[in-house]
Structure formats: C-alpha cells, structure tokens
Amino acid sequence: MEINVIGGGLAGCEAAWQIAERNHQVTLYEMRPVQTTPAHCSDDLAELVCSNSLGSDQLASAGGLLKAELMKMNSFILATAIACRVPAGGALAVDRTQFSHMVTEKLLNHPRVTVIRQEVTTLPTGINLIAAGPLASSGITSVLQELTNRDNLFFYDAAAPIITGESIDYDQGFWAARYNKGTADYFNCPMTKEQYETFYGELVKAEQAPLHEGVEDDLRVFEGCMPIEVMAARGLDTLRFGPLKPVGLVDQTGKRPYAVVQLRKENTTASLLNLVGFQTRLKWGEQKRVFRLIPALSHAEFVRYGVMHRNTYINSPNVLHPTYQLVGNPNIFVAGQITGVEGYMESVSSGLLAGINICRMKDGQELITLPEITMMGALAQYISTASTRNFQPMNANFGILPPLAERIRDKQQRKLAQAQRSLDSFNDFL
C-alpha cells in the first residue's frame, strides 16, 4: 500500500523523512510553485513564513522542552534547524533561506522520497497524511470537509515586517537580551513616553488592508499571533505589557526605557531584522509611515511588509485520535497547524508522530500515543480531547501538562521539575 504525504511544510517534510528513514517509500506532494499562497515567497519546501525563530531552547520553557523531546526522537527538521542556526539569545533562530533550501535538497536526494509538485484535490490511493498547513488550498480543504463531515474553522493571523540592517539608526538603540539571558542578539529600539504616545496615536488610527474572500465581518484573531494594531486598540498601555514591554532591559544610560521595540536577526550577518511582535495587516504605506515613528527606525527600509493571510484548521477533538489518525478513516492521518497545533516546532512534533504511526500501521504494529506528561503527548491529547465548542489552536505550554505531585512555589524551579518529569517519562517510553 502506497504512502502519500500531502503538503511540503514543516509537518509534511518531517513525516516524509521519518517514513523514508524507516525503509518505506513515500510520495510527498507540494502544490507550490504550480499554485502559490499569499505568504510564501520561494518554491522550497519547509519555507518559514512568519518568523525565523523556532522559539526558546531553554529547558525551563515549553518550547525548549519540546525541542529536547524532538531531539530524542531524531527530528529531521530540528537537526536541520540547528545546522542553519543564527545567534538569537536563548532562542533557536535560523537563516530561513539556508534552512528551507537544505530541507528541500535532503528530501529530493533521499532514495525513498519522491517529490511531486502539484495540487491534490482528491486523495491518492493508499495511506495518506494530510499536512497541507494553515494556508491549505480550496481543493484539499474541500477534501477535509468531506472527510470530517463538518465545516472547517477559519482564523486569521499576520506576519511581521522585515527591514534591512543598514537602514537602522544604531545610535538610537542598543544590543541586549532580556534579563541578559544568552548573548546580546536582539537590537532594542527604546522610546520615551512622548515618543511612545505619538507612535500609539498614529498606530490605532492607521488604515488597515481589507480582508479578502468575503470575510470582512468574520475576523477572528488568534491570541498567540495578534496584529499589533488590534492589540493596541485594547488600551494605551497594552503594548507596553506585551511586545513593547521594557522589563529586563537597560539602555546605554543604565535606565529602563519607557517602551522598547525589539528587532531579531533574520540571518547570521544581521543584514535583515524582524520587528518582534509586529504582526500586522496595516496597508503597506501606513506600515512605513507609522513604524518609522520609532526613533531607531526613522529611515527603515522594508524588504517585506506585514501581511494578513488566512489560516485553516479542523475541529480536531471531533475528528482526530491522539495518534493523528482520522476518526473512522484508519488510512488517513492529519498533521501540522491544520490540526490546531500552533507553532513551527509543534507542527514538527505532529508530523513526526504521524509519520512514525503510519509506518507502524503498515508494519502491523500498534500505534503509539505518547504519555500526557510529555509535551509532545500533551499537545496530541489537547487537540484530540479539548472542548469542541470553542476549540482554539494551542502552542506548547506548561499549562497543558498535568500538575506536579508536589507543589513548588518558585516558577522557574517548577517548570524545570515539570521538564525533568517529562524527559524521564519520555526516556522510559522510548
């Protein structure tokens, strides 16, 4: 029975690699460049479209724990990311072009992987993994609607702008990591109270780009990737307690700024930087006008403006097992952000487990469900058992793990204890 993976994003690429490495032939379908999306720029597989950061790699963070588990599972995507790493303090950030190109080349050269560039509108025969991603085409979305007998849910998220490093006024800011964690890999753009209030006033009245596909009245924003103008509309100080928070940062004079915009390197040479937390759907001219009110960015050159794009995900608690197998269709699996796991590495974890389970099913073995006290297991449990009434995508976080048997007051120590418990359980399971 043939194995097909539909979608060449992070989840699909991870799954295809895991399947091939277990001595099974696999066909990987990717619709680009035959059909493009509003967010992708290249034809490479596993293109990162929202950020070059794959999140924290500190064990006391949920993202760090997830990466530690993925490392134990020999994640292909994580290993490639580490090979393409750029400095980013305590986070794992990559050179996006190098990363997607390396993933593409490795899969194209794998003897048991066949890559076909075409849109899938009907499922091929055999075992299928649908990992079409949040920008799924209408064709594969229709397939999912028919398979699940339920309408897909839609939400919208936004990508942040990228500017050139040479256009930044470095005299108006400073390099530092929050609380001096890791190395000073973020460039911080401070603002005084007066500068912040001017910026805020222009941001909240700036003109937004219209939504497409007739959904102007149906905008639902996922809290984890909220447009900065939507966040600002909630109150004058909302941004100062969010992406512009100054806590943990000290400027050149030894004082904490009133507000701070952080820039993250897009590549090792810092020729491109991303405005952290500045996901937006403002019109492009408005982005230039408003964001240049930040003193260090008064002459910023934008190589990519923020864009708003559609994300699609299924009501997984109704239709998915924690093995990522579709309820009632044992030969169909679903993985990636379309399942409601929100985030790059979360998508990787779903693709990895789905790929392994496809191989186990074909080999006549029992499918695996990871322990719920592991981050990978907790994510799978969440999307398959959460409330179906108001199901929302979920990032890796310690809140989805069962509580510890003993109470630990110190937050950092409590997270470390949860992480160690998860890794111990993971080792026992393996």
The DSSP line for 209-255 is: PPPSTT-GGG--B-GGG--HHHHHTT-TTTGGGTTT--TT---TTS-
In this predicted structure, what is the pLDDT of residue 171? 96
Mean pLDDT, the chain, integer: 89
Decide: 189 and 295 in contact? Cβ < 8 Å: yes
Q: Tokens standing for 384?
A: 């398959």
Residue (of 283, 260, 333) closest to 15 by Cα position: 333
Higher pLDDT, 421 or 214: 421
Q: Tokens standing for 387?
A: 């409330």
Q: Is the pLDDT of residue 166 over 90?
A: no
What dihedral do alpha carbons 211, 216, 218, 224 form, nearest 10°?
A: 40
DSSP letter at 294? Answer: S
3-state secondary structure 86-100: ECCCCEEEECHHHHH
**404: helix, coil or strand?**
coil
Question: Among all chains, which residue has been given the structure tokens 């609380």?
Answer: 179
pTM: 0.78
Residues forming a β-bridge with 191: 259
How many Å apart are CA 200 and CA 233, to the nearest integer?
9
**426: helix, coil or strand?**
helix
In this predicted structure, what is the pLDDT of residue 234? 95
Q: Which of 6-10, 129-133, 182-186, 219-223 is predicted with the least confidence, judged by mean pLDDT? A: 219-223
In this predicted structure, what is the pLDDT of residue 214? 43
Quick one: average pLDDT of 232-259? 94
> What distance separates the 2 farthest-apart alpha carbons in the chain?
67
In this predicted structure, what is the pLDDT of residue 417? 95
Provide the residue count of the chain: 430
Quick one: average pLDDT of 53-59? 90
Q: Tokens standing for 71?
A: 């490392």
Residues forming a β-bridge with 261: 189
* pLDDT tens readout for residues 211-220: 655 444 445 5
Quick one: average pLDDT of 201-212? 87
Quickly count: other Cβ atoms within 10 Å of residue 429's Cβ.
Answer: 14
Order of strands across the sheet that contains 53-56 = 53-56, 91-94, 85-86
Residue (of 171, 45, 58) closest to 99 by Cα position: 45
How many Å apart are CA 187 and CA 246, to the nearest integer?
13
- Helix or strand holding residue 27 (H, E): strand 26-30
Radius of gyration of the chain (CA): 22
Higher pLDDT, 393 or 359: 359
How many Å apart are CA 260 and CA 251, to the nearest integer?
10
Domains along the sequence of the chain with CATH: 3-152+314-429 (3.50.50.60), 159-308 (2.40.30.260)
Quick one: average pLDDT of 272-297? 94
Q: Which of 3-12, 131-140, 322-331 is predicted with the least confidence, judged by mean pLDDT? A: 131-140
Q: How far is CA 209 from CA 206, 229, 274, 283, in A?
A: 10, 12, 20, 5
Decide: 160 and 240 in contact? Cβ < 8 Å: no
* pLDDT tens readout for residues 79-96: 999 999 999 888 999 999
Q: Tokens standing for 127?
A: 């075992």
How many Å apart are CA 272 and CA 303, to the nearest integer?
8
User: Hey, what amino acid is at 341?
Assistant: V
Decide: 371 and 426 in contact? Cβ < 8 Å: yes
Residue 39's pLDDT band, with cuts at 50, 70 and 90, is low
Residues forming a β-bridge with 265: 273
Q: Is the pLDDT of residue 177 over 90?
A: no
How many Å apart are CA 292 and CA 290, to the nearest integer?
5
> Checking phi first, is residue 37 left (phi over 0); if not, alpha (psi -120 to 50) or beta?
beta
In this predicted structure, what is the pLDDT of residue 152? 52
In this predicted structure, what is the pLDDT of residue 216? 44
Quick one: average pLDDT of 27-48? 80
Q: Tokens standing for 216?
A: 């102007």
Decide: 85 and 93 in contact? Cβ < 8 Å: yes
Residues forming a β-bridge with 115: 28
Exposed/middle/buried for 249, CB within 10 Å: 0-12, 13-18, 19+? buried
Quick one: average pLDDT of 424-430? 90
